[in-house]
A = this chain, B = another copy of it.
Amino acid sequence: MIPFKTIITYDKTQSIPVYIQISNQIIQLIKRGILSPETKLPSSRALAAMLNIHRKTVISVYEELLSQGWIEIIPYTGTFVSGSLPIVKKQTLNPTDSALLEKNKAGFSYIKSNLNYVDIINDDSKLFIDDGLPDNRLSMVNEIATAYRSIVKRKKHHILGYDSIYGNLRLRETLVQYLNQTRGLSIQKDQLLTTRGSQMGIYLATKIIGIKNGTFVVGAVNYKSVVDTFNEASASVSIINVDKEGLVTNEIELLCKQKKVAAIYVTSHHNHPTTVALSAQRRMHLLELARQYRFAVIEDDYDYDFHYDNAPILPLASNDTNGNVIYIGSLTKTVAPAIRVGYLVAPKDFIFEAAQQRKFIDRQGDTLLELAIAQIIDEGSLQRHCKKVLKIYKRRRDLLCSLLKKELNDYLSFDVPDGGMAIWVRLNKKYNWDVIRNAAANQKLILNDYRLYDYGATNHNAIRMGFASLNETEIVKTVSIIKSILLDTYEEVQHH
């Protein structure tokens, strides 16, 4: 006889009825082979006494088990574990501990990646020098919540059902108009797909271009996620140099003569990470090469909206008459990284394929959020917000640049970026970012790793320092900590 009294527990304060709690435990006993098929169960009266519950509850338990097929009731004979169940090896009586242990490892083989990922840490006590992110303290998330609410209040119930795999139609129409006006594009709505952000755009473009169609070209210093995505897709990746005018397009031409190029990834407005703009001459050269050698240009225009000194340079996509440019953007930088809405612009037939693929990974976007974004663009709130923060970010850029120049000129160099949210700070070769980074971490200042982005072994000895997310106090503090570390570490040595 199974010691029901010891094994079965229940808690009347739980939201799950007691009879369900008990049924589920009996099912577990059956599944684990502790109660084997054809075992006779106690009468309802006996079990009620054992468990100190009302007999009616036990009757409910047995009814539940019967309806689910775990037991059978033979009139005038008794209640039995169903004889048609398979006999299983008896398992431990205390499943929880071992189950948890076991569950750390899958009981089947699968493909393991060789990726290491350190999860994001949000620690308010530390000052993070990011890669070039907006200041969330200035974000327009209030406007989004208001738009969200006003859309819900309109009670158009059909917006709560499944939506188009191309993205919500109203947002697509809004984005088409917005991009045509601000980026000099001349697209129609079937040339645009909404995404969750740039990363999804890069994934979809890689998938559809296809690794069999040739090599994927990136800069010797390049945005990290995109190289990771190409590698993960098992694409052949070719590396070309980046100089003061951006990607060296002559090297692309040489490469095209050697092998089939499928695509080139370019951040033409502000090179990521070096912040330089692709020169006019190279823009034309790149488009001409794309036409001639029939490759795709994946143009990631990640911070078009942030340009300080002259008007932003129109994207390559604005001048692509041959259907070579796949244009990727997102609202991550203008709204907030947590708000996941982006877009993919390409020739109509490519967008059709992208929508098919999007269906497999995600089906569709979040309709309510997409409608809220459309509303803040249509109302002009997004544009007003951009104008407002642009002034603030320009001041921050100028402050960080002037302090770096004034305080750290002997140690490092940089070019004032025309736009974007970060400065590419190159440390003189005799100094080591690791030393500064470790010492800074002790003072709760978290700097980037200089090894990032270096796919061509350029030993650039540079980091991106995001200025947009730092207020003036934080900028002053950052430079001051770095300076004190440099003085402490290096000057002492020199004086000895």
A positions within 8 Å CB-CB of B: 14-17, 20, 23-24, 27-28, 30-32, 63-64, 67-70, 82, 84-86, 88, 91, 95-96, 98-100, 102-113, 115, 117, 119-120, 122, 124, 133, 136-137, 139, 141-142, 144-146, 148-149, 152-153, 157-166, 181-182, 184, 186-188, 191, 196-197, 199-200, 203, 207-210, 212-213, 228-229, 232, 262-263, 277, 279-281, 283-285, 287-288, 290-291, 294-296, 309-311, 313-314, 318-324, 336-340, 346-350, 353, 355-357, 359-369, 383
Contact = CB atoms under 8 A, between A and B. Distances in A.
Contacts of A181: 14-16
A359 B361 CA distance: 12
A178 B151 CA distance: 29
A413 to B, nearest CB: 22
B31 A82 contact: no
Q: Which of A262, A294, A366 has the most chain B CB atoms closer than 10 A to its own CB?
A: A366
A144 B151 CA distance: 12
Contacts of A369: 366, 369
Contact of A107 (B117, B285, B322): B322
Contacts of A164: 119-120
Given A85-B284, A362-B199, A105 B356 contact: no
A314 B162 contact: no
A68 B213 contact: no
A189 to B, nearest CB: 12
A287 B110 contact: no
B161 A336 contact: yes
B99 A321 contact: yes
A188 B137 CA distance: 33
Contacts of A291: 107
B103 A191 contact: yes
Given A284-B31, A360-B229, A161 B113 contact: no
Nearest to A469: B161
B163 A70 contact: no
B281 A117 contact: no
Contacts of A367: 338
Contacts of A228: 360
A199 B360 contact: yes
A368 B141 CA distance: 10
Contacts of A229: 360
B106 A296 contact: yes
A348 B209 contact: no
Contact of A186 (B100, B262, B280, B314): B100
A160 B148 contact: no
- Kindly list the 5 A-B residue pairs having the minimum CB-CB distance in the complex, ordered from nearest: A111-B210, A136-B160, A338-B367, A107-B323, A160-B336
Contact of A149 (B70, B145, B285): B145
The listed residue with most B CB atoms (<10 A of its CB), out of A146, A157, A318, is A157
Contact of A362 (B149, B323, B362): B362
Contacts of A199: 359-363
Given A99-B186, A319-B31, A349-B105, A338 B161 contact: yes
A196 B165 CA distance: 14
B361 A163 contact: no
A347 B279 contact: no
- Most B CB atoms within 10 A — which of A15, A200, A314? A314
A157 B136 contact: yes
18 contacts: A16-B182, A23-B311, A68-B310, A82-B280, A99-B186, A100-B186, A103-B321, A104-B347, A109-B213, A111-B207, A111-B213, A117-B356, A119-B166, A120-B163, A122-B158, A159-B338, A199-B363, A340-B363
